Amino acid sequence: MDADRPSFDAYVQARTAALSRIAFLLTGDHHLAEDLVQQTFLRVAGRWQRVVMEGSPDPYVRKVLYHEHVSWWRQARRVGQVTSVGADKPVPDYADRVSVTVAVQRALARLGPRQRAALILRYFEDLTEAETAAVLGCRVGTVKSQVRDGLARLRTLAPELADLMGADS
């Protein structure tokens, strides 16, 4: 790792903000998002030389991030402490944009981790179904069904977002 340290440090510095935004969408909490990103970097650091040799590290790091989040969710579920994103935190309505953001966060928080991850990868990160399947380690058909079911659930949980999702999506 010592020889690759400058390369890893540069990657961490360049990608922390983007990964933090994704982690926040997954966790709904800034502190948990920071922890998730740090845990992801810890896991990747030991494999950095191999990751870089295989090409772009982004897909691998994203996959570690999503898998780490699912692991956290499963662990919290086992001890009965599933965190609710923003359920008890009032957010002032400064503008329509803020209220939409809050509604999306709350609705996403009520989805299962796989549906949430599939929707974030497809619509926030704009990955294809095949790329999303590769990150999540599943089949394209699974991604399609997770996205379909996730959107249907979002329509039920947050009907006020129907205009954003479109009538046919």
Whole-number Cα distances in Å, 62 to 7, 87, 117: 18, 27, 11
Domain that holds residue 39: 1-83
Assess whether 62 and 76 both reside in one domain. Answer: yes
| 35/41 Cα distance (integer angstroms) | 10
**Into how many domains does the chain fold?**
2
Q: How many of the other CB atoms lie within 10 Å of CB of 22?
A: 22
Assess whether 58 and 105 both reside in one domain. Answer: no
Assess whether 31 and 69 both reside in one domain. Answer: yes
Which of 22, 17, 25 minimizes the C-alpha distance to 105?
Answer: 25
The two tokens of residue 62 are 């994203």
Could you tell me the pTM of the whole model?
0.56
Assess whether 92 and 169 both reside in one domain. Answer: yes
Assess whether 40 and 102 both reside in one domain. Answer: no
Domain's final residue, options 83, 108, 127: 83
Assess whether 24 and 93 both reside in one domain. Answer: no
Q: Per residue of the chain (169 residues), give pLDDT as tens.
A: 555 678 889 999 999 999 998 888 888 888 888 999 999 999 998 888 888 888 889 889 988 998 888 887 666 655 555 455 555 555 444 455 667 777 788 888 888 889 999 999 998 888 999 999 998 899 999 999 999 999 999 888 888 777 666 544 4
The two tokens of residue 121 are 């990868």
Identify the H or E element spanning 168.
Answer: none
Contact between 112 and 145 under an 8 Å Cβ cutoff? The reply is no
